[in-house]
Amino acid sequence: MAEKIIGIIGGVGPEATVDLYRKIIKSTPAKIDQDHIRVIIDSNCKIPDRVKAIFGNGEDPAPVLSETARNLERAGADLILIACNAAHHYYDAVVKSVSIPVLHIVEETASYCSRRFPEMRTFGLLAGSSTMELGLYPKGFHKIQSKILNPKPEDQNKVMDCIYKIKAGDLGGSVKEDLLKVARNLNDAGAEVIILGCTEVPLVLEDGDLPIPFVDPTQVLAEAGVAMARG
C-alpha cells in the first residue's frame, strides 16, 4: 500500500503547527530521511480568529479554513489534520470542501482515552473559552460514556490569559505554574485525567508535570495521522 501524504491546516497558531509537525516526526518509526512521511503544511495565519467568531464578534473562519483544505488537497495531500481544537467547530464545512479524510482531534482523543483509561469517567479540560462554549469535548466524550469537568470561571480566565501569553511567545515558568494550578483545582474537583484541549497548552505542559495523567490531543492527532498515512 502506498504511503499517504499528510496535509496540515496550520497557523492556528504557528507554534502549535510546529508542535504538531514535530510530533508527527517523533511518532514515525524512521532511521533515515526517506523513512519519514511526506507532510504538506499550509501555515495560514490569516485564518480569522476562532474565539471572536464563535462569540459572535468576528469574521467567520469557515471559508478560509475550507480554502486552506482545498489548497492542501490540490498540493497532493491524502488526509488532513487541523492544528487547532476550536477550529473543529467548522469541521463539517472543511470535510465538505474536500474529497479526502479529515481527522477530528476530539474524536481521536476520546477514542484514545477509552483505550488508555477504560475505568476512568471524569476528565478535566484545559482549553480555550470558545472550545468550552461549544462543548466540543463533552460531546466527544459522551460517546465513550465519560464526562468533562471544566475549570471554575475565575480559573478559565486564567487559562485564557495563559493561552494568549503562549501565542505571544511567553513559554516561561509563571505561565506553566498558572496552568498547573488550574489543573490541580480540576483534580481536587474530581478529575482523574487532564486533557490539554488547546494546541497551545502542550507547549508548556506535558504528562508527568502532576501525579495525575495528562493527555495531549496534539500527540494523539499526530499518532492517528501517522497510522493512517502508513496504512
pLDDT of residue 149: 97
Sheet holding 79-82, edge to edge: 39-43, 6-10, 79-82
Does residue 202 register a pLDDT over 80?
Answer: yes
Catalytic residue among 45, 113, 162, 198: 198
Assigned domain for 117 exists: yes
Q: What is the pLDDT of residue 172?
A: 92
127 and 191 share one domain: yes
Q: Which residue in the list 45, 84, 113, 162 is annotated as catalytic? A: 84
62: domain range?
Answer: 6-104+219-229
CATH number of the domain where residue 165 is located: 3.40.50.1860
Q: Look up 45 and say whether it is catalytic.
A: no
Query: Can you tell me the mean pLDDT for 111-137?
Result: 96
Q: Cα(97)–Cα(161) distance, rounded to whole angstroms?
A: 33
How do residues 47-106 score in pLDDT, each as one tens digit? Answer: 999 989 999 889 999 999 999 999 999 999 999 999 999 999 999 999 999 999 999 999
* Residues 93 and 126 occupy one common structural domain: no
Rounded mean pLDDT, 172-192: 97
140 burial type by CB count under 10 A (0-12 exposed, 13-18 middle, 19+ buried): buried
Radius of gyration of the chain (CA): 17
For residue 1, pLDDT over 90 is answered with no
Counting the structural domains of the chain, the total is: 2
Residue 1 covered by a domain:
no
Does the structure show a pLDDT above 80 at 207? yes
Q: Is 162 a catalytic residue?
A: no
* pLDDT in the model for residue 64: 97
Q: Note whether 64 and 132 are same-domain residues.
A: no
If asked whether residues 118 and 74 sit together in one domain, one would say: no
- pLDDT value of position 51: 86
In this prediction, residue 26 carries a pLDDT of 98
Q: Per the structure block, which three cell numbers stand in for 2? A: 502506498
Q: What is the mean pLDDT of the chain?
A: 97
User: Is the domain of 98 the same as that of 129?
Assistant: no
Tens of pLDDT along 125-144?
A: 999 999 999 999 999 999 99
The pTM of the full predicted model, rounded to 2 decimals, is 0.96
Q: Give residue-wise pLDDT tens across range 89-108.
A: 999 999 999 999 999 999 99
Same domain, 100 and 111: no
Instruction: Tell which wins on pLDDT, 2 or 216.
Output: 216
| 198 in Cβ contact with 85 (< 8 Å) | yes
Question: Percentage of residues in the chain with pLDDT exceeding 90?
Answer: 97
